[in-house]
Amino acid sequence: MSEINTNQSFVANGGTNNQNYALPLTAMTTLFFLWGFITVLNDVLIPRLKDVFDLSYTEAMMIQFCFFSAYFIVSLPAGILVKRFGYKNGVLSGLVVASIGCLLFYPAVVVHEYWLFLTALFVLAAGITVLQVSANPYVAALGPEKTASSRLNLAQALNSLGTTIGPAVGGFLLFGGAGALAAEAGSDAVKVPYLMLAAALLTIAVVFAFLKLPEIKAHTEEQDCKAKDHNLLEAPHLVMGVLAIFCYVGAEVAIGSFLVNYFAEGHIAGLAEHEAAKYISYYWGGAMIGRFVGSAVLQKVAPSKALLFNTLCIVALLALTILTEGSIAMWSVLAIGLFNSIMFPTIFSMAIEGLGSLTSKGSGWLCLAIVGGAIVPLLQGVFADSINIQLSFIVPAICYVYIAWYAINVEKLAERWARQVG
C-alpha cells in the first residue's frame, strides 16, 4: 500500500558507519512487510465477513472505512507522540497497539458482532499509522547516510512483497486450501490469521525493546525562507495534490476491495471466493513490478508526463472493466495495479515542490488525505448496491480522471506558487 512520508530530515547520533545494523535493519524490513501484508488482508476479509453477516456492499465497505479513517484521526496525534517520546518508542507503541487490534478479533468472533470487528480493525490501523509515522526515519538511520535511500527502497520493496503475497495467504487461511470454507466455520476462520499476526507483532516489539538503535534527531524546517510568510492554501499544486492523493488512495483501495466479489460474478469469471482471492496478488504484484520499472523510467521522463500516461492507461482499463465481460474484464482490472505503482510518490513529490519551510506541514496535509481509502470504497459500495458491482467501477474511474487533470495542470499550478513566493 501507499506509505506515509513525513518529509523530514533525520540524523543518527552516537553510531558509526562500521556499526553492524544487520539485526535492526532485518527487524525493520520485516515490519514494512508485515504492515503491507496486514493492509491487503482486508481485501480477503471483506467477502468473508460479507457472507458471514449477510452484509450489503455498503455495509461491507465499512471495513475499509474504519481501517483508513484511522490514518486521518491518528496521524497528527501520532506525530505528537513521536516528537515527545522519540521514534523508537513510537515504533514500540505502534507494534503494541497493532497487536491489540489483532487480538480483538478473537472476542469479535466469540461475540459474533460486526461492530466489534470494525473496532478491532480501527485499533489495528491506528497502530499501523503510528508505525508509519515512526518507521521511515529508523530505516534511514540504520547505517551510513549515503546508503539511506537504498535501505528505504529495500524496505518499500518488502512492503510491496507483503501486499503481493498477503491475499494468497489470507485466502488460504480464511477460505481453506482445498475449497470454500465450511459454512459452520463462519467467522471462526478469522481467529487464527489475526492471532498469528498478533504474535508476530509482539515478537518484533520484544526484539525492538532490547535492540540498541541509534538516537534519531529530527530537524525542524523552520529555517528562513520566503515561503514561510505564505499560507499553504495559497499553494494550488499542494491543495489540488491533496485531493489527488485522496482520489488515488481511495480508488486503489476500492478496486482491491471489490475484486473477490467481482470475480464471483457469473459473466466475469464465476470464481469461488477462495479461488478469486488468489488473483488479488496479481493486482498488488503489478504495483510491485511497476515500482521498479517506474523508478528507472522517472530518471528520464518528467513526473507529470509519467503520471498522465499511467492515469490514462488506468482509465482505459476501467472502461474495459465496465463495458466487457469474461477474461477481458477480469484481466483489465487486474492490470490496473501495474499502473498504480508510481502514483503515490509521484503525486506526493510534485505536491510539495517548492514549499520550503512549509514542506512538513504540506506533507501532513497529504498524509491526512489517505482517508480517501475510507471514503471512496464506501461510495463504490453504495453504487454497487443501487446499480450493480460492474458499473460501480465508475467511481474509481472518476477519481483517475481527476488525477489526469492534475497531471496536466500541476506544472502550471506550481509555477503560480513560485511566482507568489518570489
**Cα(401)–Cα(161) distance, rounded to whole angstroms?**
28
The pLDDT-based confidence of 231 (bands split at 50, 70, 90) is confident
Tell me phi and psi for residue 51, to 5 degrees: -70, -45
Buried b (16+ CB within 10 A) or exposed e, 336-373: bbbbbbbbbbbbbebbbbbbbbbbbebbbbbbbbbbbb
pLDDT at position 324 is 97
| Residue 304: predicted pLDDT | 92
The answer regarding whether domain 221-422 maps to CATH 1.20.1250.20 reads: yes
d(CA 363, CA 163): 24
User: pLDDT at residue 7 above 90?
Assistant: no
The segment(s) of the chain belonging to CATH 1.20.1250.20 are 1-219, 221-422
pLDDT in the model for residue 5 = 45
Domain 1-219 has CATH 3.40.50.360: no
Burial class (CB within 10 angstroms; exposed 0-12, middle 13-18, buried 19+) of 176: middle
Mapping DSSP to helix (H, G, I), strand (E, B) and coil, where does residue 389 land? coil
Q: How is residue 7 written as a grid cell?
A: 518529509
Nearest residue to 64 via CA among 383, 387, 376:
376
On the question of pLDDT at 420 being above 80, the answer is: yes
The candidate with the shortest Cα–Cα distance to 35, out of 90, 102, 85, is: 102
Lowest-confidence region among 1-15, 34-48, 260-274, 357-371: 1-15
Taking the complete model, does pTM exceed 0.85, yes or no?
no
Give the pLDDT confidence score for residue 337 in this predicted structure: 93
The H or E element spanning position 9 is strand 9-13
